[in-house]
Structure 1
Amino acid sequence: MPPAEPDLQALVARIHDELAPRFGAGKVADYIPPLAHVDPRKFAIAVVTPEGETFAAGDADEPFSIQSVSKVFTLTLALGRLGDRVWDRVGREPSGDPFNSIVQLEHEQGRPRNPFINAGAITVADMVLAGHTPREAIGEILRFVRFLADDEDIAIDQAVARAEHETGDRNFALAHFMHGFGRLTNPVAHVLGVYFHHCAIAMTARQLARAGLFLAAGGRDPLTGARVVAPARARRLNALMLTCGHYDGSGEFAFKVGLPGKSGVGGGILAVAPGRAAIAVWSPGLNAVGNSLLGSEALELLAARAGWSIFGG
């Protein structure tokens, strides 16, 4: 007989309660002022299944800045527009370096190692921008995220977007460096305008898990029936999330959690249990490599107790 499906509501509630004494652990991303002021004791977990059931605990209805989790959605858009030509401009290998490192870029003549480090996501923003004004590209990204989450209330936090611009010296350096190698086709200011705004999208854990559900269902939204991407592309997006989704902490996340996932410095993580569920967690305190400390632990507990690791038992 197959193993019994877990009681997911009881499971997420138990994980919330077990981690509660440590709420506030880790260090918030204080280099972006609006993120520095987020209550570090916030914690949310939400699980959405292909049957449309949602199981949540904690602050699952409070919006937070998804930051680099948005890179999954912009990459999906770019692949829809350009197909495999995306890979002419950005690689698919783990970086092994911090998310905002310039060292690798110089060695590899301005071609980013993967689409989830900052340089790679800036290149993807350049692809999405092609043929559009920044305002049009930002609008397209926001409409796509609303479509995936089936929720028109999702918005960009303009205060975060402004702060990203004001504190984005390293991202400007990365973009100018790539532009100097001829790797960007649009003006740096326009590309970074798109990049900063999609990183400033605010979502709740419920909305984020819902938006990622297509990756747990072979590229199709199981609740609306809409085909988002082909099954092969969904598999490849999940593979990239597993190998590159947590920067130089990706190997550790795969080792401990065993699920594709994408983190953001706002403390959010989107994870995928293929065929089972999409999961979003949020805890603002980060670990040493910039991933949510308690969010990662929550996913480790969930994957182990539900038996969802892609590597088995």
Structure 2
Amino acid sequence: MVEIDTMPELEQALAEVAAEMAERTDRGSVATYIPQLGKVDPGKFGIAAVTNDGRVILAGDADQPFSIQSVSKVFTLTLALGKIGDALWHRVGREPSGNPFNSIVQLEHENGIPRNPFINAGAIVISDVLLAGHQPREAIGEILRFVQFLADDDTIVIDREVAASERATGHRNFALANYMKSFGNLHHEPELALGVYFHHCAIGMSCRQLAIAGRFLANGGRNPTTGHSVVSTERARRIGALMLTCGHYDGSGDFAFRVGIPGKSGVGGGILGIVPGVASLAVWSPGLNENGNSKLGSIALEKLARMMNWSIFAP
């Protein structure tokens, strides 16, 4: 991995990527199946990089909050591992899905065990884990406080309108939850686990906030500002491995091939990218590609990774 002091000027790289993305007309399509997300301007684009030596570099709409959606699953996975450790893997797998994020087909073949924690079914199980001993409101509050702590920003909130929009249209997610309940892989009532799930997906963050929140994964599990450990180095590596192999649903292999760093996308158009030992990245462009991942966000990270020689496979 390239050392920070041998890199080309990062500010220029981000500015060039943002300028190129501003000229693109093929921006993908916003996620209309969640009505509130369908109202977002597809012309928006923001990108942020937070380096392990403390630099914060922004371009475009990097300070505008957006619905992080499934990017939040990185943070809920981190919390769940902190609660029950490797016992989690008895209830959720660690393999790429090869299917859409809301597919019910694999659950039938695999006896209600979701393929990984980043598809919807897996994240619903994670929400069920976080519910243990709590009311839904308490579990939601714990998740939000954790994200605020990581970002060092208590202004981060949950967009209640987005959460309500997801609940109103989340019929497939209700089906997934009830199906897993029938296999005994949900320990609470489906509507309770789903309440937690819908709300953490509705967290609103800017690229700046999201990149700062991801710093611990780029720094071996430690907050590089305070030096405090969030997770162990081994756990940070394992979360990064899951982001690389499973973070973009059935587009994960293509993202790994083209970009070469761990990343987690959300249908709100955000992507959190991790360059181990170097930087945390966040990009937002609401238009999605055919796999439900940010179209311009993926292209932007591919270009930035090439410019900075940031692939984890680089010598």
Give the equivalent residue in structure 1 for 2:107: 105
Give the equivalent residue in structure 2 for 1:190: 192
CA positional deviation for 1:51: 1.5
SS in 2 for 1:281: strand
Distance 1:23 1:80, change over 3 A: farther
Mapped partners of 2:60, 2:300: distance in 1:
12
CA positional deviation for 1:146: 0.3
Q: TM-score, normalised by structure 1?
A: 0.98
Mapped partners of 2:250, 2:311: distance in 1:
20
CA positional deviation for 1:4: 2.3
1:208-244 deviations in whole A, cap 9, x for unaligned?
0000000000000001222100000000000000000
CA contact (8 A) 1:126 1:191 kept: yes
1:43-80 deviations in whole A, cap 9, x for unaligned?
00000011111111000000000000000000000000
Mapped partners of 1:277, 1:11: distance in 2:
14
* Aligned pairs for 1:199-238 within 5 A: 199-238=201-240
Give the equivalent residue in structure 2 for 1:180: 182
CA contact (8 A) 1:24 1:40 kept: no
* Aligned pairs for 1:241-252 within 5 A: 241-252=243-254
Give the equivalent residue in structure 2 for 1:265: 267
SS in 2 for 1:33: coil
Count of matched residue positions in the alignment of Structure 1 and Structure 2: 313
Give the gaps of 5 or more residues in structure 1.
none
CA contact (8 A) 1:47 1:277 kept: yes
CA contact (8 A) 2:21 2:45 kept: no
* Aligned pairs for 1:267-282 within 5 A: 267-282=269-284
Mapped partners of 2:251, 2:8: distance in 1:
28
SS in 1 for 2:36: helix
1:301 to 279, 300, 303: 303
Mapped partners of 2:153, 2:7: distance in 1:
28
Give the equivalent residue in structure 1 for 2:153: 151
Mapped partners of 1:270, 1:36: distance in 2:
21
Give the equivalent residue in structure 2 for 1:253: 255
Give the equivalent residue in structure 1 for 2:141: 139
Mapped partners of 2:141, 2:162: distance in 1:
17
SS in 1 for 2:6: coil
Mapped partners of 1:241, 1:28: distance in 2:
23
CA contact (8 A) 1:23 1:42 kept: no
Mapped partners of 1:226, 1:122: distance in 2:
29
Q: State the AA in 2 paired with 1:10.
A: Q
Give 4+ residue runs of structure 1 displaced > 6 Å after superposition. none
CA positional deviation for 1:274: 0.2
SS in 2 for 1:272: strand
- Across the aligned residues of Structure 1 and Structure 2, the Cα RMSD in angstroms comes to 1.1
CA contact (8 A) 1:151 1:207 kept: yes
* Aligned pairs for 1:21-60 within 5 A: 21-22=23-24, 25-60=27-62
CA contact (8 A) 1:24 1:42 kept: no
1:72 corresponds to 2:78: no
2:10 to 8, 11, 30: 8
Give the gaps of 5 or more residues in structure 2.
none
